[in-house]
């Protein structure tokens, strides 16, 4: 390695605070040999200390503005050319080292900045809104759309939301009251359903460990398509529900057993629950867990999310039994004791693991 390369290497190590005492001593010897004053590199350090950051992950416009500001700052601290002095051979080499070092640093900075600028164009800021089991939340999107999130649910969207479309991804269950905007369709992606609207109100249920995905329309119209069956599409009318039964997903959950054949895609009408002025599919918004002829293995998943507990069913004979009921203010133990009145079973609660075992 020649002196020039070694000098640049040592200088870089010093800048990164990785230089040993021997490195510093060697750097000082090179500076002395070539009459280089390290203080002269303060101008270079000014360049290195220029901040590139904008808010989190900047968009293209923010990045371009930062880049232009950077170039202006560099121009303001460039060495002046109006000094005309006669220099000897070593002096020439000193200046040569100065410009090589500065140029090297600037090239590294430029490449890094361009890399991050391109990365920012490709990777937009991701916004995540989520709820834990046992809790619910209501949020307002940037366009005024209101979203209610059920227990154990999450929606994500990037900073391109509202530019061409209003696109979100949902895992779990949510009720959307979409603000009408004919120029910017509202699109929801789930594991088995894709939904597209302009302005409407509807409920979507698509939990990761649940084989059944559903979309229930309350108001307006809703276009539904299926990622695994791209040729099939449908448009829902108010009080219609589309269900997608992912048969293969039954193996993902310990409690699910296949007790009867269920079509992959079904379209049904929804009605208000008897004695309750609310549709069963969206009763959770009013803190009511309503279920009608629901198999216990599926109901157990709802209870897990509703009460933030783990439920393990060891008694296979109870898994396929169907239950009907309404829970609002009951504790998980009151709920289980009520269910026992329909079909007898026993349960044990382990406080240390927060698990209920049905035996």
What pLDDT shows up at residue 75? 58
pLDDT, tens digit, 9 for 90 and up, residues 189-208: 999 999 999 889 999 999 99
> Would you mind telling me the total number of residues written for the chain in this entry?
359
Q: Are residues 129 and 247 in the same domain?
A: yes
* pLDDT above 80 (res 354): yes
Domain boundary at 221, 240, 273, which? 273
Look at residue 319 and tell me if it is in a domain.
yes
Q: Are residues 106 and 133 in the same domain?
A: no
Look at residue 43 and tell me if it is in a domain.
yes
What pLDDT shows up at residue 235? 95
* pLDDT above 70 (res 217): yes
| Percent of the chain with pLDDT strictly greater than 90 | 49
Instruction: Give mean pLDDT, residues 161-177.
Output: 95
What pLDDT shows up at residue 80? 47
Q: How far is the C-alpha of 43 from the C-alpha of 102, rounded, in Å?
A: 9
**Closest C-alpha among 267, 230, 221, 223 to residue 245:** 267
Instruction: Give mean pLDDT, residues 334-351.
Output: 93
Question: What b/e string do you get for 104-124 counting C-beta neighbours within 10 Å, with b at 16 or more?
Answer: ebeeebeeebeebbeebeeee
Q: Are residues 196 and 293 in the same domain?
A: no
Both tokens of residue 117? 């600028």
Beta-sheet pairing, 212-219 with 240-245:
antiparallel
Please report, for the domain that includes residue 200, its CATH number.
2.60.120.1440
Look at residue 25 and tell me if it is in a domain.
yes
pLDDT, tens digit, 9 for 90 and up, residues 247-288: 665 444 545 544 454 568 999 998 876 666 788 899 999 999
Q: Are residues 41 and 157 in the same domain?
A: no
Secondary structure (DSSP) of 111-167: HHHHHHHHHHHHSPPEEEEE--TT--EEEE-TTS-EEEE-TT-EEEEETTTTTS-EE
Q: Are residues 130 and 50 in the same domain?
A: no
The total of other beta-carbon atoms located within 10 Å of residue 217's CB is 24
Please report, for the domain that includes residue 327, its CATH number.
3.55.50.30
Look at residue 283 and tell me if it is in a domain.
no
Q: Are residues 75 and 182 in the same domain?
A: no
Both tokens of residue 191? 């594991």
Look at residue 281 and tell me if it is in a domain.
no
Q: Domain of 311?
A: 288-359
What pLDDT shows up at residue 213? 95
Instruction: Give mean pLDDT, residues 118-126.
Output: 58
Provide the number of structural domains found in the chain.
Answer: 3
- Calculate the CA 178 to chain-centre distance: 20
Q: Are residues 58 and 142 in the same domain?
A: no
Q: Are residues 225 and 112 in the same domain?
A: no
What pLDDT shows up at residue 91? 54
What pLDDT shows up at residue 248? 60
Which phi-psi region, left, alpha or beta, contains residue 292 (left: φ > 0; alpha: ψ -120 to 50)? beta
CB 280 within 8 A of CB 273: yes
Domain boundary at 77, 93, 122, which? 122
Look at residue 260 and tell me if it is in a domain.
no
What pLDDT shows up at residue 89? 52
Both tokens of residue 107? 């090239």
SS3 327: strand
pLDDT, tens digit, 9 for 90 and up, residues 77-89: 544 444 444 445 5
Instruction: Give mean pLDDT, residues 170-177.
Output: 97
Domain boundary at 122, 147, 177, which? 122
Interhelix angle 21-33/3-15, rounded to 10 degrees, is: 130
pLDDT, tens digit, 9 for 90 and up, residues 228-253: 888 889 999 999 999 998 866 544 45
Look at residue 315 and tell me if it is in a domain.
yes
Q: How far is the C-alpha of 301 from the C-alpha of 310, rounded, in Å?
A: 9
Q: Where in the chain does DSSP place strands (E)?
A: 126-130, 137-140, 146-149, 154-158, 166-177, 186-189, 194-197, 201-206, 212-219, 222-226, 229-236, 240-245, 265-269, 289-295, 310-313, 322-327, 347-350, 355-358
Q: How far is the C-alpha of 133 from the C-alpha of 208, rounded, in Å?
A: 14
Q: Are residues 240 and 343 in the same domain?
A: no
Measured over the CA atoms of residue 227, residue 232, residue 233 and residue 239, the dihedral's sign is negative
Q: Are residues 143 and 112 in the same domain?
A: no
Q: Are residues 299 and 217 in the same domain?
A: no
Interhelix angle 3-15/89-122, rounded to 10 degrees, is: 50
Instruction: Give mean pLDDT, residues 337-354.
Output: 93
pLDDT band per the 50, 70, 90 thresholds, residue 66: low
Q: Higher model confidence: residue 146 or residue 80?
A: 146
Look at residue 141 and tell me if it is in a domain.
yes
Q: Are residues 220 and 303 in the same domain?
A: no
pLDDT band per the 50, 70, 90 thresholds, residue 226: very high
Both tokens of residue 250? 């039954």
pLDDT, tens digit, 9 for 90 and up, residues 19-37: 676 777 777 787 777 767 6
pLDDT band per the 50, 70, 90 thresholds, residue 61: low
What pLDDT shows up at residue 55? 44
């Amino acid at each position: 390695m020649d002196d020039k390369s070694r000098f640049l290497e040592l200088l870089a190590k010093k800048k990164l605070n990785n230089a040993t005492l021997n490195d510093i001593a060697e750097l000082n010897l090179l500076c002395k040999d070539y009459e280089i004053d390290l203080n002269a590199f303060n101008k270079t350090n000014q360049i290195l200390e220029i901040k590139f950051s904008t808010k989190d992950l900047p968009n293209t416009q923010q990045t371009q503005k930062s880049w232009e500001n950077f170039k202006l700052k560099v121009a303001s601290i460039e060495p002046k050319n109006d000094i005309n002095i006669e220099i000897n051979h070593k002096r020439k080499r000193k200046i040569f080292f100065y410009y090589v070092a500065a140029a090297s640093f600037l090239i590294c900075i430029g490449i890094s900045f361009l890399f991050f600028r391109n990365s920012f164009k490709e990777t937009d800021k991701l916004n995540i809104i989520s709820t834990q089991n046992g809790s619910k939340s209501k949020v307002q999107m940037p366009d005024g759309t209101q979203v209610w999130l059920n227990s154990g649910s999450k929606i994500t969207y990037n900073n391109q939301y509202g530019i061409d479309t209003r696109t979100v991804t949902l895992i779990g269950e949510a009720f959307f009251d979409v603000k009408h905007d004919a120029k910017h369709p509202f699109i929801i992606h789930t594991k088995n359903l894709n939904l597209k609207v302009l302005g409407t109100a509807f409920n979507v249920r698509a939990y990761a460990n649940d084989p059944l995905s559903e979309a229930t329309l309350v108001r307006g119209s809703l276009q539904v398509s299926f990622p695994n069956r791209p040729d099939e599409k449908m448009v829902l009318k108010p009080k219609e529900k589309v269900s997608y039964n992912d048969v293969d997903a039954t193996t993902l959950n310990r409690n699910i057993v296949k007790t009867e054949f269920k079509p992959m895609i079904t379209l049904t009408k929804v009605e208000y629950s008897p004695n309750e002025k609310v549709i069963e599919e969206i009763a959770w918004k009013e803190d009511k867990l309503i279920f009608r002829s629901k198999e216990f293995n599926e109901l157990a998943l709802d209870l897990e999310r509703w009460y933030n507990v783990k439920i393990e069913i060891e008694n296979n004979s109870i898994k396929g039994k169907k239950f009907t009921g309404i829970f609002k203010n009951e504790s998980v133990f009151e709920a289980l004791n009520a269910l026992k009145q329909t079909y007898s079973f026993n349960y044990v609660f382990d406080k240390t693991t927060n698990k209920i075992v049905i035996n």
